[in-house]
Structure 1
Amino acid sequence: MGEDINGLHHVGHIVRDMGQAMETYHRLGFTVEAPLYPVLPRVAGGAPEPFGVANAHVRFPRNFIELVAVIDGTGRMPGEARAVPLRVPDARLPGLLAAIEATSANIASFLRRFQGLHIMIIDTPDIDGVAAGLTAAGVDHGGVHAVQRPVETRTSTRMEPVRYLEISEPGLPAGRVPEGRVGFAENDPAQRPGAPPHTGHPNGATGLVECVLCVDEEALPDLTRRYAAYFGQARNGRTHTFDRANVTVVTSSALGALLPGERPAALPAFAACTVSVRDIAVTRRILDDNGVRVARTGRDEIFVPADAALGTAIIFRQEK
């Protein structure tokens, strides 16, 4: 593994309130697409209704951050949220409902653990090759699935094809690993490299370049073994860095040195994600103007602490 992966496809930030999440990301200087939520009847012939989870994207040229909220009947979807009707034959409706319910239950369980990052998906140009490599390495996964993902454009909502797989670990529900949901995705090659469309961000963000995973010291050997099977061998040092996947693993005792003042919400857990920016000084000025609390990492970076960003630290790194 390693030669057939291209960094992060997306990370999933699971939130309690989509409106609050959008407001927070706007204050961080990001452009957030309008949230989308599925609508379908719960019984054949019934009236369509919101169901499952809603999501909104912070999109970059090659990847994105996904904001995810469970639709729980509280009416907390922001006014600009758009319904995406799902149409399936009556015979397939029970299976689709079961799949959506399972996804919703998974997301809800993550949220009960803590609000923050729980999903990390790695980009690959060859999902079938990745699946074969994982199987050869003895890594359990659910196989390759093909779905149509709704994507908001300036004029409409279109369905974008994507193929993906999720990794599973023994003793956990399908598609789960101890730190959350980890997998791979391959977009339709016809959609690359310029699509799907993306807009600029006031903070100058240009891409999602890192996901930081925090783990207990005693669990580090097992986790690095797992991630080596997933992504190839790490570059070791004070942190363990899986370069081609853009994943950094840090122990709980070392997290404070990497991100001063940060403490993990749970272990293991995705503690932070990093975005590249065109001009770190401009980014800092926008954050200051918006009243966002900012800290330094000790490197040529700044970050917004997790308690100011709905459970996950957001690191801003000067683009090279």
Structure 2
Amino acid sequence: MAPEITRLHHVGHVVRDMPAALKLYRRLGFALPTPSYPAMVPQDGGTLEPFGAANTHADFPQDFVELVTVVDVDGAGSRVPADARLVPLNAPPSVLPSLMERINATSANLSDCLDRYEGLHILMLSSSDIEATAARFTNSGIKHGGVNTVRRPVGPRVETVRYLEIDGVQPGVEAEGRIGVAADLDPGIQSSRAADHPNGAVGLVDATLCIADPELDAVRTRYEAYLDRTPKANGRGYVFDLGAATLTLVQASRLAEALPGQQPPALPALVAYTVEVRDLAATKDLLQTNKVPLGRAASGELFVPATAAIGTVIAFR
């Protein structure tokens, strides 16, 4: 039977300062909508106040890059963009406690991620059959929190999002970050919000995980179980071919060969993602015009170094 995981669903870039991150991404040529912040009215009354985790997406037809932050309640005013979209949390009293628990747990996990480093911390794989993935994980002894279902309005339609998160060093978190699987995006809904990015980006085609040399084979074995396939060795680590994208594992001592000048912020760490663009020369011209520092990967791809991209390498193919 063919594996049900055939692409990347999204990666998540976790930042402390959303306005600064929006400015960076737009300078890199990504079109991002106004970020959404969950909000509630304080118990003592007043106006809506943001809380929890806020995000926005660089959307492509079949996947996306998420830009996410944790609201700093004590200093939220300085970090919430002036045009942020506050989304009131409306839920029946019977559901509200569990919803708040989920939001608080997500915020706590993201805060822990930021304590490690600012950068890429979320990797979601895309499954054509999320129930089959959940059953396969359970049968293989891979711990997870079960399939969650969220429904949200998208214009006149309702989008159903179904996902699971892998339990590693703690519930919902592996050593390298939040790793999980989501059901394939609805092509009709996703294509309606996919943007015409000035840099020509059309899809997410790789995520790179850097691993301490002695741990490489153990992590490879773990991802073989997640992905239900065997990777190819490439001299610096391994590459899992998902069909529409790849997942690259690179040993720490060889990272600078693959991405000259780059060092992992921690180990293990998601250190880079790659987007496909329509015209690499045009992308390069835009980045140079915007005075963005560029490197050249061993594969020939252009990349923005982590020091210029809030902790993650962003590559263009």
TM-score between the two structures when normalised by the length of structure 1? 0.91
Per mean C-alpha deviation after superposition, the further-off stretch among 244-253 and 40-49 is 40-49
> Residue 158 and residue 28 in structure 1: after superposition, are their counterparts in 2 closer, same or farther (change >3 A)?
farther
Q: Which residue pairs with 1:13 in the alignment? A: 13
Return the offset for 1:228: 0.3
Contact 2:63-2:185 within 8 A present in 1 as well: no
Query: Gapped runs of 5+ residues in structure 1?
Result: none
User: Could you say what the CA RMSD is over the residues aligned between the two structures, in angstroms?
Assistant: 2.1
Q: Does 1:90 align with 2:86?
A: no
Q: Which residue pairs with 2:233 in the alignment? A: 236
Q: Which residue pairs with 1:160 in the alignment? A: 159
Q: Which residue pairs with 2:182 in the alignment? A: 185
Amino acid aligned to 2:298: G
> Residue 299 and residue 246 in structure 1: after superposition, are their counterparts in 2 closer, same or farther (change >3 A)?
closer
> Residue 224 and residue 2 in structure 1: after superposition, are their counterparts in 2 closer, same or farther (change >3 A)?
farther
Amino acid aligned to 2:176: E
Return the offset for 1:46: 8.7
CA distance in 2, matches of 1:128, 1:203: 36
TM-score between the two structures when normalised by the length of structure 2? 0.92
Residue identity over aligned pairs, in percent, reads 46
> Residue 291 and residue 98 in structure 1: after superposition, are their counterparts in 2 closer, same or farther (change >3 A)?
same
Per mean C-alpha deviation after superposition, the further-off stretch among 243-252 and 118-127 is 243-252
CA distance in 2, matches of 1:47, 1:89: 20
Aligned 1:91-110 pairs, distance under 5 A: 91-110=94-113
Q: Which residue pairs with 1:253 in the alignment? A: 253
CA distance in 1, matches of 2:111, 2:157: 27
Helix, strand or coil for the counterpart of 1:123?
A: strand
CA distance in 1, matches of 2:153, 2:108: 21
Q: After TM superposition, what 4+ stretches of structure 1 lie above 6 angstroms from structure 2?
A: 44-47
Aligned 1:205-284 pairs, distance under 5 A: 205-231=201-227, 232-238=229-235, 239-244=237-242, 246-284=246-284
CA distance in 2, matches of 1:181, 1:104: 12
CA distance in 2, matches of 1:2, 1:215: 28
Per mean C-alpha deviation after superposition, the further-off stretch among 81-90 and 194-203 is 194-203
CA distance in 2, matches of 1:26, 1:67: 12
Query: Gapped runs of 5+ residues in structure 2?
Result: none
Q: How many residues align?
A: 310
CA distance in 2, matches of 1:47, 1:25: 30
Q: Which residue pairs with 1:142 in the alignment? A: 145
Return the offset for 1:41: 4.5
Q: Does 1:204 align with 2:207?
A: no
> Residue 43 and residue 243 in structure 1: after superposition, are their counterparts in 2 closer, same or farther (change >3 A)?
farther
Q: Which residue pairs with 2:115 in the alignment? A: 112
> Residue 21 and residue 104 in structure 1: after superposition, are their counterparts in 2 closer, same or farther (change >3 A)?
same
Contact 1:241-1:248 within 8 A present in 2 as well: yes
